[in-house]
Amino acid sequence: MTTTEPTLAAAGATTRRRPAISRTWVLLALLWLFQAITTVIWLRQDNRYPIADTAVNLVRAFRVADVLAHPSLDWIARIVAASDGQPPLYFVVTAPLIWLFGPGADSATLVNLGLLALLLVSAAGLTAGLLARFFSADSDDASTHRSLAPWMALAAAAFLSFFPLVFTYQRVYNPVFGLATVVALAAWLLVRSQGFASRRYAVAFGLVAAAGVWMASTFWLYLLLPALIVVVQAVLTPRPVATSRHAPSRSRGDGLARRLRLAPAHINLAIAFLLALLGLTFYLVSDVPTTQQLSPRLAGAALLDDALGGFFLVLLIIGILVALVQLIRPARPGALVAFGLPLAALAGGLLLGTALGVMRSVPAAVGLLLPLLPAAAVILVLWWPLLALEVERRRGAGAGSSAGRR
């Protein structure tokens, strides 16, 4: 045996021990499976006739499915008309289930299971992305980040799925559940874009933002403030020096950016903005008002207890207090973004909803709280690593003092 053989053997053993699929993904899939089974059982046992908003939304879904089954040149206009002028994306993604299982409340509501999977993945990814911003790669706490991030991401997704409001609305056919999913996905992509430095995630964010407007006209209520924070971060990205315009470029886009003395983040921001404008095409073909004029009343904040439950509400309050402390006295530079973005999403949705008068009554406020809950789930667990770091610091200090006494 040569001297390199033990190393190769050890490397092979390490490779064999590494799972093909992360344990976090397996647990996340099991979480979704549990929620899916309970939802299907509920739908099988619930024999009540759909009423009120649920009945109206089901009729719209059946109409849109019929329109999609008969394509024509005025397809988009017919889809908008079939949805009564409301953003039709939720009804569009329901159409395959209606074609497959036939028109019915249960078959249409099954679309929420797919949206729930995307919601859980987005919440977990958003949590992991914000923790990565908090723990820098070259930090002494990088090992703590690697060990805590998967569990914190899983905890955020699990808590979100067991919030009473989420647990209830995944069994109800209502576009607000799709809105919550798209908001969470857009927030995750916004964080992954690293201040629009990543073109791939910037493009994905722009497309999801356009889809969000087609999901609900209130989409930007929940994402406006955190998006503005990241936009400012991208705008403040240093521009290339004048001499860089003559340097070789990897692509034509990079060459154009160098000639204009723009950073990649500036170009990616412009691309994302143009893609997000695609969502406005809905309003170009719709003559029906998509929002109601509601009285400005903050009913949503008073219903957080019903939306989260008392235990989760206590954890959320602690998380909000810790986030405010981190904004005033950040433990590290990444804390400003890590705690500021979800706090801006949560506070911004409540404040903008009040200012624009979209929280009129208890039913309206409860529905509008749902897209805020992914941010609430992130805030609920984001302060746990700070507690773990403080415990490790105290243990290290205690061990050092014991060694000194010896």
Q: How confident is the model over 164-189, as pLDDT tens digits?
A: 889 888 998 989 999 999 999 999 99
Mean pLDDT of 253-258: 60
Residue with tokens 């809105």: 179
Mean pLDDT of 202-215: 92
Residue 185, token pair as written in the block: 């996905």
Check pLDDT > 50 for residue 228: yes
314-319: long-range contacts (C-beta < 8 A, 24 or more apart)?
315/380, 316/376, 316/379, 316/380, 318/383, 319/379, 319/380, 319/381, 319/382, 319/383
How far, in Å, CA of 115 to CA of 113, rounded?
Answer: 5
Number of H helices, E strands in the chain: 21, 0
Note the pLDDT of residue 311: 81
Residue 294, token pair as written in the block: 């509601």
Check pLDDT > 70 for residue 91: yes
Q: How confident is the model over 36-86, as pLDDT tens digits?
A: 999 999 888 877 777 778 888 899 999 999 988 888 887 778 888 888 878
Note the pLDDT of residue 221: 84
Residues whose CB falls within 8 Å of the CB of residue 361, separated by 6 or more in sequence, listed in order: 299
336 band by pLDDT with thresholds 50, 70 and 90: confident
Check pLDDT > 60 for residue 373: yes
241 band by pLDDT with thresholds 50, 70 and 90: low
Answer yes or no: are the C-beta atoms of 209 and 279 closer than 8 Å: yes
How far, in Å, CA of 211 to CA of 280, rounded?
Answer: 10
Note the pLDDT of residue 17: 46
Residue with tokens 């994302």: 272
Q: Which of 14-23, 136-145, 254-263 has the lowest mean pLDDT?
A: 14-23
Note the pLDDT of residue 348: 84
Q: How confident is the model over 268-312, as pLDDT tens digits?
A: 888 888 888 887 776 666 554 444 444 344 444 556 666 777 788
Mean pLDDT of 145-158: 84
How many other C-beta atoms are found inside a 10 Å radius of the C-beta of residue 189? 25
Average pLDDT, the chain: 78
Percent over 90 (pLDDT), the chain: 23
Note the pLDDT of residue 51: 74
Encoded amino acid at 212, one letter: G
Note the pLDDT of residue 25: 87
Note the pLDDT of residue 297: 44
| N- to C-terminal Cα separation, the chain | 46
Check pLDDT > 50 for residue 5: no
402 band by pLDDT with thresholds 50, 70 and 90: low
Note the pLDDT of residue 28: 92
